[in-house]
Amino acid sequence: MTIEYLKKAEKTSATGEDETRKIVADMLAGIEAGGEDAARAYGEKLDGYSGDIVVGPEAIARAADQVSQQLKDDLRFAYDRVRGFAEKQKASIGEFETELSPGLWAGQRLIPMDSAGCYVPGGRYAHVASAIMSITTAKVAGVQNVVACSAPSTEHGGPHPGIVYTMNLCGADHILALGGVQGIAAMANGLFTGHKANILVGPGNRFVAEAKRMLFGKVGIDLFAGPTEIAVIADADADPEVVAFDLVGQAEHGPDSPAWLITTSRDLGEKVMARMQALIDDLPEVQRDASDAAWCDYGEVVLCDTDEEAVQVSDAYAPEHLEIQTENLDWYVDRLKNYGSLFVGEETTVAFGDKCSGTNHILPTKGASHYTGGLSVHKFIKIVTTQRATRDANRDVAAVMARISRLEGMEGHARTGDVRLAKYFPEESFELHI
């Protein structure tokens, strides 16, 4: 396989991990020991906010008054599509019971989690879409208590009004004015609400992602959602202007957001690289600084000889978002395996999925799409099994279990079958050793 890097990243997703782990570990320990007072103190220190942590009905109403009707209509548009897709996901699985052999029944039940913690980023940007993606999906799954949190600011006297309005629209039962590690820790420990999250979901910066990783086991998490990623597979037929805009559009998320172009056309790759800086420089200051650092430190352009090589390179990256802008779209769709969400053709783009087209934008990063997909209703539902058996079925099942258990050296297990065989079939003898 011949691969040439027209541009190679200077940093990787592992850059800075050790420092992040120490900071987050200290914060989590401090909040677990100090409870609500410690979480509130971190909020004051990091966000400069000393107001109410629990966002009450009056604050929710004020937030709604600050949201324009056009934005309310747009949020409803996005909510309806995300909810509709989530409802289809839920309908794709169901409960059942089946007879595996005469008298032996096994089944499946779907039980929603009691409580979910939904993190909504609210620092550099007001991510109203993340509220839709997480809270709506949890509610469709049947979660009874949804706690949502987002970083407050002194400017707004709490979280961004658009975020608060959206959280309420989507059905959040509790809204907390806390961001970062302190918000994650508060939801995990049931601070301010009395509802400990069974699962933590939502995207965030490296500190939020690390906090979720460290808390995994104590609570469930959706996935390791670190800094966002985009990969675009493009050939000579692709429009370099469109490709460049799409790469810049994701790089603006933050200075550590990778943007990768995988192409079978040197000309296309060079044209895209030639356009990137001008598009970055044309952004407002905050977005420009983030995109510039992301493209400089994490951007890559990979030139492949063949489509097969492009697939291999993409599957190795396992990108969070993957766009295909090629002539042979279906060929790629059939062969690509590792991605969080796939955007097929120039007519769709990552930002559609990020904001309003219906699929969830909480997706695996840092190679996690090798083993998991993105957030779905299934993440909030426990798929548990049941079984029942007739006495007659014990004649085979108990005897087989006893022999396997004795082979494994588990005599106590074997005797739970022996006692039933002796009770149900006292006149019969069984070979219970191998």
- Give the Cα separation of 247 and 231 in Å (integer): 8
**pLDDT at 128 (0 to 100):** 95
**Alpha carbon 360 to chain centroid distance?**
8
CATH superfamily entry for domain 227-373: Nitrogenase molybdenum iron protein domain (3.40.50.1980)
- Give the Cα separation of 250 and 231 in Å (integer): 10
- Give the Cα separation of 363 and 229 in Å (integer): 10
Question: Could you tell me where the DSSP H helices lie in 128-258?
Answer: 128-131, 137-141, 161-170, 180-189, 206-215, 240-251
**pLDDT at 14 (0 to 100):** 65
Sheet holding 174-176, edge to edge: 174-176, 145-149, 115-119, 199-201, 220-221
**pLDDT class of 205 with cuts at 50, 70, 90:** confident
Query: Per-residue pLDDT for 102 more than 90?
Result: yes
Strands (E), 335-405: 341-344, 381-389
Residues of the chain with CATH 3.40.50.1980: 17-222+378-383, 227-373
- CB 290, CB 255: distance < 8 Å: yes
- CB 332, CB 352: distance < 8 Å: no
What confidence tens digit (pLDDT) does each residue in 357-411 have?
Answer: 999 999 999 999 999 999 999 999 999 999 999 999 999 999 999 999 999 999 9
Q: By three-state DSSP, how is residue 379 classified?
A: helix
Residues involved in catalysis: 320-321
For residue 145, count CB atoms less than 10 angstroms from its CB and return exposed for 0-12, middle for 13-18, buried for 19 or more.
buried
Query: Per-residue pLDDT for 225 more than 90?
Result: no
What confidence tens digit (pLDDT) does each residue in 287-323 have?
Answer: 999 999 999 999 999 999 999 999 999 999 999 999 9
Whole-model pTM? 0.91
**pLDDT at 1 (0 to 100):** 58
CATH superfamily entry for domain 17-222+378-383: Nitrogenase molybdenum iron protein domain (3.40.50.1980)
**pLDDT at 12 (0 to 100):** 76
